[in-house]
Amino acid sequence: MSTPPLFDRESDPAPSLGGSHAPLPPVTPQEIREEEAFTRRMVDRVLLHGPNTRFREFSLLMGVVRDFLTGFRSLHFVGPCVTVFGSARFTDDHPYYVMAREMGAAIAGMGFTVMTGGGPGIMEAANRGAKDVGGRSVGCNIKLPFEQSHNPYLDRWVTMEHFFVRKTLLIKYSYGFVIMPGGFGTMDELFEALTLIQTGKIRNFPIVVMGTGFYPGMRQMMEDMLTGATISPGDLDLILWTDSVDEAIAHLQENAVKQFGLRVAQGTPKWSPLLGEKGLATR
């Protein structure tokens, strides 16, 4: 007997410990159409929606490869970066925007390229700070159901279809991470970096969390993890909690530049016009 379609199975009564119960109402054609319309609007939704046809899965896989290839070709020549994460919702008169702008300028002053998610808010502020002092500024944006265009302070940017590709690129080219106040996306990026460091997938790059008044609950949560032995003391050694740009820069200098013998003027691969590649200054 062939397996019934998913929507048919959803309406079947499911067994429970308490005995049988009333069957769920059948899925209507309108609900199916709405689900299909929702999914089709974004490639990510198709990828994450569940099994597709074999051809569609192969097409989605090639889309992921295309995302990575676009990112590699665009960001390969931008030089060593420090990535700044934070909310897209702060306006330019907000104290956290001002702090991020100062931080971007200070990072660029060290000789690093400032990398962000490329959008507005904290991301714009950090990129803007880099340009204030003539530094390098790049962004890795994401396609969303609502429009999020890149900010105007970028020397180079790419726009990704897939969040996980974007996160990989934001980490791949960076020697340190600055976490400004933000929401779910900022938390996702912070804990992605922490997990990769904890599991040895990347080096022990420094992490600076700025906005101590914004993050007391998260700091306490990490202390509770340590008390509960779900993390080790060393897992938190390279996190600096501060509101001081000078202290943050000193932490990055000690734990990125000195720790790895990094020379920020070096480490940028040579680009080839024959391959259609461009250095950052010739975008």
Looking at residue 118, its pLDDT comes to 94
Query: Which is more confident, 22 or 119?
Result: 119
- Sequence-distant (≥ 6) Cβ neighbours of residue 76 within 8 angstroms: 269, 271, 277
Domain assignment of residue 74, yes or no: no
Beta sheet of 207-210, edge-to-edge order:
156-160, 137-142, 113-116, 81-85, 174-179, 207-210, 239-242
Domain assignment of residue 164, yes or no: yes
Domain assignment of residue 37, yes or no: no
Query: Which is more confident, 156 or 259?
Result: 156
Looking at residue 85, its pLDDT comes to 97
Q: What integer best gives the mean pLDDT of the chain?
A: 84
Domain assignment of residue 274, yes or no: no
Looking at residue 48, its pLDDT comes to 79
Measure Cα distances from 96 to 20, 106, 124, 150, 216 in Å. Answer: 55, 15, 12, 19, 16
Looking at residue 267, its pLDDT comes to 57
Flag whether pLDDT at 283 surpasses 90.
Answer: no
Looking at residue 82, its pLDDT comes to 95
- Sequence-distant (≥ 6) Cβ neighbours of residue 63 within 8 angstroms: 43, 47, 161, 162
Looking at residue 130, its pLDDT comes to 97
By residue range, what is the domain housing residue 104? 79-263
In this structure, what token pair is assigned to residue 238? 């390279």
Domain assignment of residue 29, yes or no: no
Measure Cα distances from 167 to 121, 156, 243, 265 in Å. Answer: 18, 17, 25, 25
Percent of the chain whose pLDDT exceeds 90: 57
Flag whether pLDDT at 39 surpasses 70.
Answer: no
CA torsion sign, 279 to 151 to 85 to 109? positive
Domain assignment of residue 156, yes or no: yes
Closest alpha carbon to 170 in 211, 117, 105: 117
Flag whether pLDDT at 41 surpasses 70.
Answer: no
CATH number at residue 87: 3.40.50.450
Looking at the chain, list the stretches that DSSP marks H as alpha helix, in order from N- to C-terminal side.
6-10, 29-40, 43-48, 54-75, 95-109, 122-132, 163-172, 184-198, 216-227, 245-252
Looking at residue 263, its pLDDT comes to 62
Domain assignment of residue 33, yes or no: no
pTM value > 0.95? no
**Long-range contact set of residues 92-96: C-beta below 8 Å, sequence gap at least 24:** 92/124, 92/125, 96/122, 96/125, 96/180, 96/181, 96/211, 96/214
Looking at residue 204, its pLDDT comes to 84
Flag whether pLDDT at 12 surpasses 50.
Answer: no
Flag whether pLDDT at 89 surpasses 90.
Answer: yes
Burial string for 10-31 (b: 16+ CB within 10 Å, else e) reads: eeeeeeeeeeeeeeeeeeeeee
The pLDDT of 257-271, averaged and rounded, is: 65
Residue pLDDT, tens place only, 142-201 = 887 765 678 999 999 999 989 899 999 999 999 999 999 999 999 999 999 999 998 989
Where residue 121 falls (left for φ over 0; alpha for ψ -120 to 50; beta otherwise) is: left
Looking at residue 270, its pLDDT comes to 73
Flag whether pLDDT at 9 surpasses 70.
Answer: no
Looking at residue 45, its pLDDT comes to 76
Domain assignment of residue 43, yes or no: no
Q: d(Cα 2, Cα 10) in Å, to the nearest integer? A: 16
The domain total for the chain is 1
Tell me the residue type at 161: E
Looking at residue 42, its pLDDT comes to 66
